[in-house]
Chain A
Amino acid sequence: MTSRPRLGTSLLRLFTVQGSWNYEYMIGLGVGVAEEPLLRDLPGGPDGAAYHAALGRGAHFFNAHPYLAGLAVGATARAEYEGASPEQIERLRTALAGPLGSLGDRLVWAGWLPFAAGLAIAGVALGLGWVAVAGFLVVYNVGHLALRWWALGAGWRYGTRVPTALHHPGLRRAAAFTAPAMAVSLGLALPLAARYLAGPFGAGSRITLAAGVALGLVLLWWRPGNLTGLRLGLTMLAAGLLVGWVWR
């Protein structure tokens, strides 16, 4: 086995893991690209049969949360060194895809990201301006970088025993923190954002705004014809343009 795994190179490549995202392989090619530096010390080196076979497997279909994809990259590369069979490697990848996707979505997309975004919105609305924006980038990316680095390291450390890493107490604590933190942060942000955006409007416009929000909520709640926020925005803009034009 390699005495000094190229985890740094692999981590850098993981930042591009979704670069060739497509509907057939999803992030499979990106995972293969990130795994490649870790495979160079397989018997025979980069010209050997083991390297080529492992790389071919590494680039098969795969999908997971991009920040946690390193766990699969490290684990499958380690499994290649441990002499796992191609079938075992495929089973490992298949077993990891679902949990890494759902855990990452819950932890990051539905937790850490809206938590940080809510704080940033509240900060700007409270007059912090640039400090809030810079704070958002710092706070979010501390978690982001820590998760990526931990995932790759844990995958490499555990190899085929990587499901153990998913029971890491730190992950449980993070999940227990991010969900309530997200709820509090967004709850804090919404009234502040409303006050901030309504600030320049006159009294009549604010009443119209409140009625518009209520109407929008009712429409989005019912979701007629798969109404999305974007479609609601376009519809309300068209209505605003029409009303403004008629009453000009």
Chain B
Amino acid sequence: MSFDVQLVLLLWGTLVGLDLVSVPQMMIARPLVAGAVAGLILGDGALGLRLGIVFELFQLDVLPVGAARYPEYGPATVVAVSAGHLLTGAGGVAVGVLVGLPVAMLGGLSLHLLRRLNARAVHRVAARIEQGDARALVRVHVGGIVRDAGRAAVVTAIGLAVAWVTRTTIVGVLPERVFVGLAVAATAAALATAWTGTLRLVGRGPLLRWFALGLGGGALAVWLR
């Protein structure tokens, strides 16, 4: 993979990370979008969509309310597609998820750190903000956005480095059977997570009937195909 492509992936991962919380929350941070575009960048659209679905299923476990702490699956999906692209058989999903999940955890931790750094930056100019100093207010706000962009870039860069190391070290060593085992485990975890997240959203009330209706439709569509 060329350096130029890595740079484009880094830029895309940064935009995806920025979209999650700071600006503009238009959901390019959703794994399905992040993965599809990463696949397009790498010329491996099929893997981008496949890994996008896997991480989108993990994402259904996350409800970003209030000050909740959660993993960051957007840049993780970009990195996963980078790790798994051009691998044959189950290798793409296996290596992608193997690299992507720890990066998602790192992204979540980095968000917590960012929020603490933001609080520290506000403290320094709190008196001026209280007096209605617009310049101080805008500066600290823009500083937060710049800090988030830096955070997303660092998370993506670390992830891309891990992806490169993983591809060059373990991919040639592990037999196909291990890749299949990893891909099955990752898919099983993603599906179980999505089921649990969905059932939590649906609850035990009247929505359960609507869910059953959708489930029936989905099962029918699978049977017909």
Interface residues of A (CB under 8 A from B): 15-16, 18-26, 29-30, 32-33, 36, 46, 51-56, 59, 63, 66-67, 101, 105, 109-110, 113-114, 116-118, 120-122, 124-126, 129-130, 133, 136-137, 140-141, 144, 179-180, 182-198, 200-201, 205, 208-209, 211-217, 219-221, 228-230, 232-237, 239-241, 243-245, 247-248
Contacts and interface: CB of A to CB of B under 8 A. Distances in A.
A234 B101 CA distance: 7
16 contacts: A18-B23, A19-B142, A105-B63, A121-B32, A126-B221, A182-B201, A183-B207, A187-B212, A187-B213, A187-B218, A190-B191, A191-B221, A229-B62, A232-B192, A232-B193, A237-B189
Please provide the 3 A-B residue pairs with the shortest distance between their CB atoms, ordered closest to farther. Answer: A187-B214, A216-B192, A212-B188
Nearest to B207: A183
Interface residues of B, number: 103
Given A18-B25, A209-B188, A240-B186, A192 B221 contact: yes
A200 B63 contact: no
B151 interface: no
Among B36, B104, B188, chain A packs the most CB atoms within 10 A around the CB of: B188
Contacts of A56: 129-132
A51 to B, nearest CB: 7
Nearest to A193: B53
A117 B145 CA distance: 26
Contact of B193 (A126, A140, A187, A220): A220
Contacts of B186: 233, 236-237, 240
Interface stretch (B7-15, B152-160, B161-169, B171-179): B171-179
A121 B211 contact: no
A114 B214 contact: no
Nearest to A234: B101
Contact of B36 (A22, A25, A130, A236): A130
Contacts of A53: 132
Nearest to B33: A133
B91 to A, nearest CB: 11
Contact of B191 (A63, A66, A129, A193): A193
Contacts of B211: 183-184, 186-187
Contact of A189 (B27, B50, B184, B218): B218
The A interface is mostly helix, strand or loop, or mixed, namely helix
Among B61, B101, B132, B178, chain A packs the most CB atoms within 10 A around the CB of: B132
A234 B23 CA distance: 30
B1 interface: no
Contacts of A66: 25
A186 B60 contact: yes
Contact of B198 (A179, A190, A213): A190
Given A55-B134, A137-B26, A215 B64 contact: no
B54 interface: yes
Contacts of B182: 237, 240-241, 244
Interface string B112-148: 0001101101100000011111100110111111001
A65 to B, nearest CB: 9
Nearest to A30: B141
Given A201-B184, A209-B184, A16 B145 contact: yes
B79 interface: no
Contacts of A233: 58, 97, 101, 186, 189-190, 193
A166 B140 CA distance: 31
B52 interface: yes
A236 B215 contact: no
A20 B175 CA distance: 47
B223 to A, nearest CB: 9
A189 B210 CA distance: 13
B87 interface: no
A130 B194 CA distance: 22
Contact of B189 (A18, A118, A212): A212
B86 interface: no
Among A36, A192, A194, chain B packs the most CB atoms within 10 A around the CB of: A194
B23 A19 contact: yes
Nearest to B115: A22
A183 B206 CA distance: 10
B214 A183 contact: yes
A137 B63 CA distance: 19
